[in-house]
Amino acid sequence: DIQLTQSPSSLSASVGDRVTITCRASQTISPYLNWYQQQPGKVPKVVIYAASSLASGVPSRFSGRGSGTDFTLTISSLQPEDFGTYFCEHSYSTPYAFGQGTKLEIK
Amino acid sequence: EVQLVQSGAEVKKPGESLKISCKVSGYSFTSYWIGWVRQMPGKGLEWMGIIYPGDSDPRYSPSFHGQITFSADKSVSTAYLQWSSLKASDSAMYYCARQYCGGGSCHFDYWGQGTLVTVSS
């Protein structure tokens, strides 16, 4: 089964900062990699799918890139509503799996 | 409007059985896979598996295979997740989500509100 490892596990940043989160797969999965945001007490929502496609309604400050086994999620200018936990997920073959999450906190 | 509405919170004792539901509306129930995701308190998301309501074909994560059962009832557009014998370690929030697939890539595009399951003696 394919495992996903996110880094860092937690990240402290300020409003306006540019932040990047990494997700590494145990084997090639390109481009079947999604990113979800979960704010505290809320339901997860997709922000990026198929590695680089912006989900409907998601601001353009979010972007995703990567191929093979290495993928990144970048937020170009952090806004207060962007804080929360981000999870990557692969959909290369079942069983799909999530990364362990990256908690993005306010500095 | 696509909606997935899950059944309410449950409090059960170890060894009891449980079936929680996910009723969908606003799209063709039989045309999309439905997934189930576990989130234990303060922890991350865990992919439990998916079911295709069109033919009730399930795909389980090895971590959950044999511990849970997925089912779907087309007549009421509802997917189910059930346990035959709960353990305290099954205490968690459980989400259902619609899986959208396009161009070979799949992701969960709509989510239920979650069902909190508490198992305690």
**Interchain pair A45, B103: CB under 8 A:** no
Task: Give every CB contact of residue B7 below 8 A, 6+ residues apart in sequence.
Answer: B20, B21, B22, B115
Each residue's pLDDT tens digit, B63-72:
999 999 999 9
Residues of B in contact with A97 (CB under 8 A): 47, 61
Helix (H) or strand (E) holding A29: none
Out of A43, A96, A101, whose CB is closest to B111?
A: A43
**Interchain pair A31, B114: CB under 8 A:** no
One digit per residue, pLDDT tens: chain B, 121 residues?
999 999 999 999 999 999 999 999 999 999 999 999 999 999 999 999 999 999 999 999 999 999 999 999 999 999 999 999 999 999 999 999 999 998 888 999 999 999 999 999 9
Determine the residue type at B117. Answer: V
**Interchain pair A91, B107: CB under 8 A:** yes
C-alpha A104/C-alpha A24 separation (Å) is 18
Q: Do residues B80 and A29 make contact, with C-beta atoms less than 8 angstroms apart?
A: no
